[in-house]
Structure 1
């Protein structure tokens, strides 16, 4: 299956938190989107890998993605080496996306920066015909995405561009609430983590509102790029 956009996250819920509304908007415009989680988030303080598997499946259905896969890398300990790069290359060649979106280039969780560089490197390597990979016993064709973007996570990095996601925040929030084990619940007896506070839950909306304020819309999500953005004319800018 060829996809228009393939989104990678180091952990289940990374994608929904960072660009869930953008995904929902792109799908509404007729684009096909898939998600690949690098790990099962098994080191997370709250919940279990099995619970998060189920939550990720439900969240993907809410967003309307075409496919969702998990590479089952070791949470916290995966590295940017050939073995891991080849697995990511296999996904890129399997779905042949025009656009790849991946983790923030710098963030609080060490897996986010690692995942960012791993996927970025794999996007380049995936276009080299002398690197051979197989899927279900068949050799894959080389494929390099046209564009690689990085979403913004815990840290308030300065975006290179933002997407107006007004009208799609309800879907984003619903997809996040599918991760019942992870986020704020006043009745939960689980240990409190940085993302399981009311402040963090509230930040999902107010951070998007702040980016929206800067472009005169209600909500926006931000991204960084690896090369210059280009437009055909000045009128292309919102």
Structure 2
């Protein structure tokens, strides 16, 4: 299956928190979108990997993505090396996306910046003919594939975006997808330990950040992204 967009996240819920409204909008506009989670989030303070698996599947259904996979890298301990790069490359060559979205280049959680660089490096390496990959031992050798663009969504830190996507009309779908991770976010009745993402303020920040980014570009809601190279337009009228 060829996808238009593949969204990578170091943990289940990264894609939703960073780009959930953009994903929902692209799906609504007819794009085929997939999500690939690098880990199962097994080190999360609340819940378990098995719970996160179910929550991720529920969220994927809400967003309407075509596929969601998990590479089961070690949460907190995966590294940017050949073995992990090849795991990403297999996904890129399997789905052949034009666009890749991935973690913030710098963030509070060490897995976010590390996952960002891992995916970015793999996107380049995936285009090299002499790197041979197969989905399994009995499969055919995959053809090389390099996405046209790699964009990084914004997470905990308020990084200045290079561009903002107008997601007006899709923030409710993003919120619904986030709340599918009921073990992870604000629940006044929960007896589990508090974490930086379990406060009501954090959950509220998803909407007020989107409102503020929207305000800055003259729309209702926005999601921001950073780029690795200059953004090109065909004409000045493409800029809004």
**Mapping of residues 5-154 of structure 1, within 5 Å:** 5-136=5-136, 137-154=139-156
Paired residues, number: 238
Give the corresponding residue for 1:176: 178
1:198 maps to 2:222: no
Provide, for residues 115-166 of structure 1, a one-character-per-residue CA deviation record: whole Å limited to 9, x for no partner.
0000000000000000000024211000000000000000000000000000
- Determine helix, strand or coil for the equivalent of 1:87: helix
- Determine helix, strand or coil for the equivalent of 2:202: helix
- Determine helix, strand or coil for the equivalent of 2:100: strand
Structure 1 residue ranges, 4+ long, deviating more than 4 angstroms after superposition = none
Q: Shift in Å at residue 56 of structure 1?
A: 0.2
C-alpha distance in 2 between matches for 1:201 and 1:86: 35
Give the corresponding residue for 2:216: 214
C-alpha distance in 1 between matches for 2:4 and 2:220: 26
- When the two chains are superposed, the root-mean-square deviation of aligned CA atoms in Å is 0.5
C-alpha distance in 2 between matches for 1:50 and 1:198: 25
Structure 2 stretches lacking a partner, 5+ long? none
Select 2:164's aligned residue among 148, 162, 165: 162
C-alpha distance in 1 between matches for 2:221 and 2:192: 31
C-alpha distance in 1 between matches for 2:172 and 2:207: 10
